[in-house]
A = this chain, B = another copy of it.
Amino acid sequence: MTVCFRPGHPYDVLNRTPQQERSRATQLRLLEATVDCLVEFGWSGTTTTLIAGKAGVSRGAQLHHYPTKAALVLAAVEHLAQRRGEEIRAEAAGLPPGRVDRVIDLLAGAFTGPLYVAALEVWVAGRTEPELRDALVPLEARVGRDLYRLAVDLLGADDSRPPVREAVHATLDLLRGLGVANLLTDDSARRRTILATWTRHLAEVLAPTP
């Protein structure tokens, strides 16, 4: 049986040559440096030179892997969203079932951390940069679907029942909004109160009807 791997795909670890391993390590350093730069300098302050410098990668290697700022940023958002999703799944695996509050806490962390800030920088830039926007639209759909699936799985939600699907969507949009409210100041005290109330309601919606 032949198994095909997309080069650079995170799951092809076992079949990699040492050269491929080094390439992948370089890519990962570039993607993490991209998010760091977006968080520190914003979209307009982020340059490919700055990213290569922060990653400790030569300009030549950076251009080889990701020739443009847009390519770097799109790959960084997608890779880190996927990795953050895996981390959240791993953290949630240790929870006893039915802990809606803890799942909401985990998800809320994703919307107040550096990845959300970096993504927001890119989304807002995409609004007025048509090429970036065209590439972001399918990425937004993919990341959005993965996030919805993650939330449904962790909440153990049966989203075939009518209000469950909408309640999970609303939870993610609420977290998206709370992330915006946390951009300039630490909004955690207000967020905790709002999420405590929402969690009680969500738990009721998710509970199987008797």
Interface residues, chain A, with chain B CB atoms under 8 Å away: 40-45, 117, 120-121, 123-129, 133, 136-137, 140, 144, 163, 166-167, 169-170, 172-181, 183-185, 190, 193-194, 196-198, 201
Contact = CB atoms under 8 A, between A and B. Distances in A.
Q: What copy number does this chain have within its complex?
A: 2
A181 to B, nearest CB: 6
B137 A183 contact: no
A63 to B, nearest CB: 24
Given A181-B173, A194-B170, A42 B124 contact: yes
A196 B44 CA distance: 38
A163 B201 CA distance: 10
A194 B180 contact: no
B121 A124 contact: yes
A197 B123 contact: no
Contact of A176 (B45, B117, B176, B196): B176
Nearest to A141: B185
Contacts of A173: 174, 177-178, 181, 194
- Count chain B CB atoms within 10 A of each CB in A45, A177, A197 and give the residue with the most: A177
B40 A184 contact: no
B176 A126 contact: no
A45 B180 CA distance: 22
